[in-house]
Amino acid sequence: MVLEETTKIAVSPAVQIGGSLFTPEQLAKIGAMSGTDAKIEMTTFKQLYVEVPLERRDAIKGELERYGLEVYPAGFATKSLIACNFCKGAEEAGLETARRLNKAIAGIETPAPLRIGYAGCALGTSEPLLKDIGVIKMRDTFDIYVGGEPKGLKASLAKLLVSGVAEDRLVPVIIAIIDFYKANAKGKEKFGKFVNRVTLERLQQIAG
């Protein structure tokens, strides 16, 4: 008997008011497409890791996307944006900006898994300072933090990289940071260790 080869995909709902919300139809579709014997893992990235047959991966991805879900690579990649619940409202908290940022960054291959958090105000309910890169909307501009680490005995808060970033500069700055990390990381170096090694000052130059 030849066992069917499987792979993992990362499935998440769209960035929306109310947080990470799945509809009953979406959950039923995930279950139907993955099969009764598949393993589905809820991750700390607010993504579901779904085990699917390798030869059907692309077809399953397309079908899940038709149900309004987002599908990305699992493992060593930029995770979909870990956003707040937008309790201040879509416009004030920057929902469309968060969606553009998510579209630009999610699924980029990286030396180690990369978590990017977004908060629409200083309350920071998405815990952006515990992410590798944290974005906080401050009225009409954005502050960017780097190097947060939530795990282990040496857990630490992210440090302020740059403040007062205009909305049209937010995506280019984040992409520049990711590209610099990809180009200069040592092997599978985690982003927090990378920040400490290259220094905050060097990253500030990259952020421009």
Q: CB–CB of 5/53 below 8 Å?
A: yes
Amino acid at 16: Q
Question: pTM to 2 decimals?
Answer: 0.93
Q: List the chain pLDDT tens, one digit each, 208 residues.
A: 456 788 999 999 999 999 999 999 999 999 999 888 888 999 998 999 999 999 999 999 999 999 999 999 999 999 999 999 999 999 999 999 999 999 999 999 999 999 999 999 999 999 999 999 999 999 999 999 999 999 888 889 999 999 999 999 999 999 999 999 999 999 999 999 999 999 999 999 999 8
Last residue of a domain, one of 73, 104, 122: 73
- Cα angle value 6/12/15 (rounded, 5°): 160
What CATH number did the domain enclosing 53 receive?
3.30.70
Structural domain containing residue 19: 6-73
Task: Report the domain count for the chain.
Answer: 2
